[in-house]
Structure 1
Amino acid sequence: MSKERSTTSKGRSGRALLVWGLLVVAANLRPSLTVVGPLLDRVQADLGLAPAVAGLLSTLPLLAFAVMSPVVPRLAARWGPERLLWWALVVLAFGIGVRWVPSAIGLFAGTVLIGAGVAVGNVLLPSLIKRDFPTRVGLLTSAYATVMGAVAAVASGVAVPISQAAAGGWSTAFGCWIVLALAAVVLWLPQVRAPRPAAETIRRHRLPWRSALAWAVTAFMGLQSLGFYVAVTWLPQVFQDSGVSAATAGWLLFLFQAVAVLTSLAAPAALRRAGDQRTVATLSSAVVLGGYLGLLVAPGWAWLWSIVLGLGGGACLVLALAFLSLRAQDATVAGTLSAMAQSVGYLVAAAGPVIFGLLHTVSSGWHAPLVLMCVAAAGQVIFAMAASRGTVAPTDDQTLEPAPSPGRS
């Protein structure tokens, strides 16, 4: 009896450690990206970057997501998802360290490494949740989206104050997030060493390119990501041009993300009450559209539109992440759907900050860029309806060699 209790206790503590590990990994997936927007004008001035070139600081990670995401399922099958995720965290920490160097080369090289590390986490987290917590997908997706959004919001809010108070200015504001990345490296290490079934056979499905539902999920993921990355890159400058200071613009971006975090917490309850993902997804996307229309018509009400965009954006983020698991039959399909949606989706999103900056340069104002965002949000409303129901069928699969078992078998 005592042996059984001991085994149960170890199992519970192991699952608790796994949940904490997943949440700390999630905490590292956005701050190195959202810290850029509030400091973009200073980086431009110090390094002499054109607006379109500066927009690459947000676009390069998205391109890394697009390139890395399709290969993550194959790498996870060969190495094991736990080991692959640990190495991704190491690459992320190294990239933050490289970007701490106050030069254009360090800035862009570090950004590419950060993007590669984050890409692996983006793909693996939905798959790991589907595999290890199949009955709690909505709850844990909401939890990791909330943690991810909360830390991203804090990074935006404290970026300017840190750059003003710390030696090194903006480079220190970028580099200080290495502490969180190293914490994740340490906390995830037990998952790498944990024993796994040595003879487990890995089934790898091809990416579901022929599935209309998979393309709808991909489009929804891409358009909501485009909106998020345009917001964290350019909203501070849009706000400054409406008459607020740089520090206030940073806190308005924090407000946008803080409201999104609260919405992320409320999203699972809203889904349960509505009983229909289509209703919640469509209404949330329509709220995002309303926020961009508001910025277009009355830019002086920046605080109000920050709240509106946060209300819609937080729910859309949870839905986009949840769809990767909810539309899949098992963890393997969730991994391939996640890889497809994030590779193509982030390729779409990557164009957002650059095109937004180019339109601003060409038109000498924010009217044309905000019209673009209204069009993108309207498209998101349409794809929300298509991505909210059904299951992606597995494609033809292949049997691979068993993944290496971490630790002792």
Structure 2
Amino acid sequence: MTQVQPSRINNTAFLLFGILLIAISLRSPITGVGPLLDLIRDQLNLSATQAGMLTTLPLLAFAIFSPVASKLARKHGLEHALMTSLILVLTGITMRSLGSTTTLFIGTVTIGAGIAIANVLLPSLMKRDFPNKVTTITSIYVLMMGVGSALSASLAIPMTHLADTLAISFIPNWAFALGGIVIFPIIAILVWLPQMRNHTPPTADITELDSHSYLWRSAQAWQITLFLAFNSFLMYIFISWLPTILVDKGYSHEQAGVIHGLLQLFTAVPAIVLIPLMSRIQDKRLLSLSLTLLAFIGITGLIIAPSLAILWAMLFGFGAGGGFIVALALISLRTSDAHQAATLSGMAQFLGYLLAATGPIMMGAIHEQMQSWTLPLIICALSNVLWSIFALLASKSDIILPPKKSFHSKSDNFLST
């Protein structure tokens, strides 16, 4: 009987710990902005459209830098590419916290570039190093993203009060609050350093030059991409504007921040539920439809009965968070190797975040024109219906995407079922 070396176990545990710390840094820099939007707008004289750009710019950076991520990994290795992503996030948080309009937007773009690289490459790393535990690791990874998001959103307003209490004047109180999360990437960088020292070349399927561009002609690849795209479109609208929506409906800034943090926390709750279930559910259509339905109820509930916003935030958060887990898991489960997973992840996140980037700006502009959040929320509900359709298509089977040599475009039409 082969014995597993203790050093191998320790290295694997440390690698997993590093992945989870990276996950905490991937959404928290964005979710802390929502509760502070009114303060930032007032102090920097931003319009609603400009304020929406604070959430949109990272998404545009996701779209621009996602295709670059797999090339960076092939050239330098996954470990080095992920360290680059953490350094970019750290740099961006620092710049954004300097307090001026220019550094706010430049730092936001830099954060988006760092997050984009990690977003694309982490599924590939999990596929390579944890091939038999993809769904479990993905669920834990999304759980940590949710925890980081909830902390960032919930503590944003209290951090501004702390800045006022400490009489910090060299930067605005909102900048101090945004800078508080810098601890996340710092710890992640320190924990990831051993991976740099023990760096091994990526597997052959990562380093090969074939771009797997044939995936852009695959029905399954497009279905997964649009599943993730509409998920991201809705999620980032709520990340950007939910606190403002709630304040307009009579909630205080503190209450809106807490509910916003609760939404973020409930994006993590599905990870706990899905850890034991994902690998056992072969046909994931019912699961995907149920998650999108919960989000739909949350959106319509916010329109009809805003006094129950806590409930609607929890339902939407659970549905959107669960949908994100399923979409990420499908990227790994539907691909035949780590390189294909990285390429599909790049495709899905490029188009997904490109669509998501339109959401905060569009909803902010419509609200500014209509002076009401009813129409933007109705548009969200209709978008949720499209999300449900693509969720069903993407989840209909466990067929693995074929490698290039066995791919036949004529048999993989977009509307095939």
TM-score after normalising by structure 2 = 0.91
Letter of the structure 1 residue corresponding to residue 368 of structure 2:
T
* Cα deviation, residue 53, structure 1: 0.6
Letter of the structure 1 residue corresponding to residue 367 of structure 2:
H
Between the aligned partners of 2:405 and 2:34, the Cα distance in structure 1 is 43
The partner residue of 1:371 within 378, 396, 401 is: 378
* Cα deviation, residue 49, structure 1: 0.2
The partner residue of 2:288 within 281, 289, 308 is: 281
* Cα deviation, residue 320, structure 1: 1.6
Give 2:200's aligned residue: 196
* Paired residues of 1:270 and 1:280 also in contact (CA < 8 A): no
1:381 aligns with 2:388: yes
The partner residue of 1:326 within 333, 353, 368 is: 333
* Cα deviation, residue 198, structure 1: 9.2
Structure 1: tracts of 5 or more residues without a match: 398-409
Give 2:229's aligned residue: 222
Letter of the structure 2 residue corresponding to residue 66 of structure 1:
A
Residues 337-382 of structure 1 deviation map (CA, whole Å, 9 limit, x = unaligned)? 0000000000000001001101101111011100110011100100
1:45 aligns with 2:37: no
* Paired residues of 1:261 and 1:314 also in contact (CA < 8 A): yes
The partner residue of 1:238 within 219, 239, 245 is: 245
* Paired residues of 1:128 and 1:331 also in contact (CA < 8 A): yes
1:61 aligns with 2:58: yes
Residues 42-69 of structure 1 deviation map (CA, whole Å, 9 limit, x = unaligned)? 0000000000111000000000000011
Give 1:95's aligned residue: 92
1:354 aligns with 2:361: yes
Further displaced range: 177-186 or 20-29? 177-186
1:14/1:160 Cα in 2 relative to 1: closer, same or farther (>3 Å)? same
Residues 152-183 of structure 1 deviation map (CA, whole Å, 9 limit, x = unaligned)? 01100000000111234110111122221111
1:266 aligns with 2:273: yes
* Paired residues of 1:37 and 1:233 also in contact (CA < 8 A): yes
* Cα deviation, residue 385, structure 1: 0.7
Between the aligned partners of 2:124 and 2:203, the Cα distance in structure 1 is 20
Between the aligned partners of 2:368 and 2:176, the Cα distance in structure 1 is 29
Letter of the structure 2 residue corresponding to residue 151 of structure 1:
G
Give 1:18's aligned residue: 15
1:294 aligns with 2:301: yes
Give 1:401's aligned residue: none
Give 2:107's aligned residue: 110
Equivalent residue pairs, number: 394
Letter of the structure 2 residue corresponding to residue 147 of structure 1:
M
Between the aligned partners of 2:199 and 2:100, the Cα distance in structure 1 is 43
1:315 aligns with 2:319: no
Letter of the structure 2 residue corresponding to residue 379 of structure 1:
L
Further displaced range: 203-212 or 131-140? 203-212
1:339 aligns with 2:355: no
Could you say what the CA RMSD is over the residues aligned between the two structures, in angstroms?
1.8
1:165/1:294 Cα in 2 relative to 1: closer, same or farther (>3 Å)? same
Residues 222-259 of structure 1 deviation map (CA, whole Å, 9 limit, x = unaligned)? 11111111111101111111111000000001111222
1:392 aligns with 2:398: no
The partner residue of 1:169 within 173, 187, 208 is: 173
Give 2:29's aligned residue: 32
* Paired residues of 1:205 and 1:396 also in contact (CA < 8 A): no
The partner residue of 1:159 within 143, 156, 159 is: 156
Matches within 5 A, 1:115-194: 115-166=112-163, 167=168, 168-194=172-198
Between the aligned partners of 1:46 and 1:199, the Cα distance in structure 2 is 50
Give 1:405's aligned residue: none
Between the aligned partners of 1:163 and 1:195, the Cα distance in structure 2 is 41
* Cα deviation, residue 288, structure 1: 0.8
Further displaced range: 256-265 or 46-55? 256-265
Further displaced range: 201-210 or 186-195? 201-210
Between the aligned partners of 1:197 and 1:263, the Cα distance in structure 2 is 34
Between the aligned partners of 1:379 and 1:347, the Cα distance in structure 2 is 17
Further displaced range: 272-281 or 41-50? 272-281
TM-score after normalising by structure 1 = 0.93
Question: Helix, strand or coil: the match of 2:275?
Answer: helix
* Cα deviation, residue 276, structure 1: 2.1
Letter of the structure 2 residue corresponding to residue 355 of structure 1:
M
Question: Helix, strand or coil: the match of 1:244?
Answer: coil
* Paired residues of 2:78 and 2:202 also in contact (CA < 8 A): no
% of aligned pairs identical? Answer: 38
Letter of the structure 1 residue corresponding to residue 332 of structure 2:
S
Between the aligned partners of 1:194 and 1:38, the Cα distance in structure 2 is 41
Between the aligned partners of 2:269 and 2:129, the Cα distance in structure 1 is 26
